[in-house]
Amino acid sequence: MIRCITAASELCSGCGQGWSQLARRWKSKRADHWAKLRKKQTGTALALKHFDHFYPEKYGPRWRSIRLALLCQSKPTALVNHYSNVAETTAKLTSCGSFDLTAEWREQISRRQGRLSSLASSADPASLPADADSSDGTADETSAADPAEARARAEAAGQLRLVQPTQEESAALHDYVPATQLHGDEDWLEEGDYFQYGQEDGSLKVALDRDSPISIPDTLRVFSFPAGEISRFPFPSTSSTGVRDYYPLDGASLLPVLALDVQPGDEVLDLCAAPGGKSLAILQTLYPALLVCNDTQGGRVKRLQQVLLDYLPAAEHWPGQVSVTKQDGQRLEARDRYDKVLVDAPCFSDRHSLLEDDNNIFAISRSRERIQIPLLQTNLLRRALEAVRPGGTVVYSTCTLSPIQNDGVVHMALKQIWEDTDIQVVVKDMEDSMKPFYGTMWFARGVGIKYGQQVLPSVVNNFGPMYFAKIVRLK
C-alpha cells in the first residue's frame, strides 16, 4: 500500500491505480463508514435502545408484546364532528366497516351500573364487593359545599385512602430509570444534574379517592374497526355543512378527555393543546362555556388554529367561547381561574420516537431537552393545579410508558404543591371507572402504577400508550 502513495499523477506499481483514484475510493469508503455510524445513532434507533433498556424491568414479560405493537402502526379511530352532517358521516364510517365505539362503551358503563345497583339493593352494604359502592356516588366528597370539610368527613369515614409512600414504593418509581442517570446517545448522561427525583423523604401523603363512573355525552362519538382489524379510514372530507366530517385520533386519547368530566357551563383550559385533537373532543361534548386552547410552539399553534377552522362552524359563532393562546404553560398566571384543566404534556412520545426520525426527541442534538422533560412536565402540572378552582379537576396525560414522566411527575408536582402552597388536592382512583373500557383497551395492571391509569399498545387493538391521572382540587 505504501507504494501507492506517491505523486498524484503516478501509477502505483502494486495495484496499478492512480493516486486520485485511490483517494476517491478511500473517501467513499469513509463516507460509507460514517453513514453506517450515523444510521446507528438515529433518533428511532436510540429510542428503541432506550426503551429496551428501561421498560422490560417495569413491564416485565408484557414488554415483548408492547414492543411489537409500538413498532407497528397505531390503530386509528374517527372522532365524528358534531358540526358536520352527522348522519352522512356515520353512514360513511359504517360503510367502511367501522362501528360506534362510544356506543359500546356507553353500553358497558350502563351494564356495570345496573349490576352494581342490583347488588346494592339486594345486599347489606357492608357485604358489597370492594368496587360496588363506587356506583352510587356517595363517596364523591367534592360535590359538597365545603370541600375541605367534606374531605375531612370522607377521611373519617374511611373513604379516602392516604397513601404514605414507603421506601419500597418510592424506590419502585425510580428503579427503571436510575435517579442519577438517563440513557443518552452513546453515553450515560447525569440526570441528577438537572433534577432530583430520587430524593424522596417520605413526608408526602397523597389522598386517593375512588372516582365516580365515567359518563359519555351523547354528542361525543368515536368510530373504530373491530379488534384485530388493521383497516384505515379514508381521508376526512368536507361535509355538506362546510366543515370536515371526522378527526383521526388514537382511541386512547379520548380517555383523558372523559376523565376530565367536562360539565355544561364549565370553563376549560387545554394547556398543551396543539394540534388540537383533545380540544376538539372537548368541544364535541357541547358543554364548555369557554375553552382556552394554549400551546407554546408557533408552528403547532398554527396547526391548532387550522384544525379549529376546519372543524368548527364559522368563527363568528364562537366569540369568547373558544380562544387560542400562545403561552409558555410554565409561566401561566391564572390562579383559581378554570373549572377543568387538561395537561396533555410534551413527553417521549414513544410511538413517534420509534417510528419517525423527524422531530425525534431521542436525536443526539436534543439530549439536553430530553433530560429536562420531567422538569417541564412537573412545572406544567403545578401551574395547572394552581389555575384550577377549588372543586375543579386537572387531568395530566402523556403518550409515553416512562414511569418517571407519569406517576413520577404527578408525585413531584403534588409534593411541590404540598410544600409550597396551601392548595389541597385528592387523586381520583380510576381503577373502577375504567373497567367498562377493559374490553377495548389493554390497561397496565399489577405493575405498580399508583396515581394514574396506563393504556398499553397491543396488536389486537393498537391504541396508546396513554397515561392519565385525575386530580381534584379541594381547597
Residue with cell string 453515553? 187
- Which region, judged by CB under 6 A, interacts with ligand SAM, from 66-74, 99-107, 323-331, 410-418? 323-331
Least Å distance, CB 326 to ligand SAM, is 9
- Which region, judged by CB under 6 A, interacts with ligand SAM, from 67-75, 180-188, 290-298, 309-317? 290-298
Least Å distance, CB 273 to ligand SAM, is 5
Q: Is the peptide bond before 374 cis (omega within 30 degrees of 0)?
A: no
When the beta carbons of 135 and 405 are compared against ligand SAM, the nearer one is 405
Least Å distance, CB 305 to ligand SAM, is 13
| Residue from the set 191, 261, 266, 295 that interacts with ligand SAM by CB under 6 A | 295
Least Å distance, CB 42 to ligand SAM, is 22
Least Å distance, CB 327 to ligand SAM, is 7
Closest CA to 402 of 45, 44, 42, 51: 51
Q: What is the DSSP string of 101-157?
A: HHHHHHHHHHHHHHHHHHHHHHS-GGGS-TTGGGGS-TT-GGGSSSHHHHHHHHHHT
**Any bridge partners for residue 442, and if so which?**
456
Least Å distance, CB 341 to ligand SAM, is 12
Q: How does DSSP classify residue 244?
A: B
When the beta carbons of 203 and 359 are compared against ligand SAM, the nearer one is 359
| Residue from the set 52, 193, 328, 357 that interacts with ligand SAM by CB under 6 A | 328
SS3 224: strand
Do the beta carbons of residue 312 and residue 283 sit within 8 Å?
yes
Residue with cell string 392548595? 423
Do the beta carbons of residue 285 and residue 219 sit within 8 Å?
yes
Binding mask 268-287 for ligand SAM (x = CB under 6 A): ---xxxxxxxx---------
What torsion, rounded to 10 degrees, do the Cα atoms 385, 388, 391, 394 define?
-60
Q: Enumerate residues 190-219 that contact ligand SAM by CB under 6 A.
A: none
When the beta carbons of 350 and 432 are compared against ligand SAM, the nearer one is 350
Phi and psi based region of residue 167 (left: phi greater than 0; alpha: psi -120 to 50; beta: remaining) = alpha
For strands 99-100 and 246-250, give the pairing: unpaired
SS3 391: strand
Count, residues near ligand SAM per rule CB under 6 A: 19
Of these residues, 272, 293, 347, 399, which one is catalytic?
399
Quick check: is 72 catalytic?
Answer: no
- Which region, judged by CB under 6 A, interacts with ligand SAM, from 111-119, 328-336, 355-363, 458-466? 328-336
| Residue from the set 251, 329, 452, 464 that interacts with ligand SAM by CB under 6 A | 329
Do the beta carbons of residue 223 and residue 101 sit within 8 Å?
yes
| Residue from the set 161, 174, 300, 415 that interacts with ligand SAM by CB under 6 A | 300
* List of E strands, 305-451: 322-325, 338-344, 388-398, 425-429, 442-443
Closest CA to 344 of 305, 380, 375: 380
Can residue 383 be called a binding residue for ligand SAM (CB under 6 A)? Answer: no
- Which region, judged by CB under 6 A, interacts with ligand SAM, from 141-149, 227-235, 295-303, 353-361? 295-303
For residue 270, report the phi and psi dihedrals to the nearest 5 degrees. Answer: -105, 100
When the beta carbons of 65 and 330 are compared against ligand SAM, the nearer one is 330
- Which region, judged by CB under 6 A, interacts with ligand SAM, from 16-24, 198-206, 234-242, 289-297? 289-297
Cell matching residue 64: 415483548
Q: Which residues bind ligand SAM (CB under 6 A)?
A: 253, 271-278, 294-297, 300, 328-330, 344, 346
Q: Any idea which residues carry the catalytic annotation?
A: 399
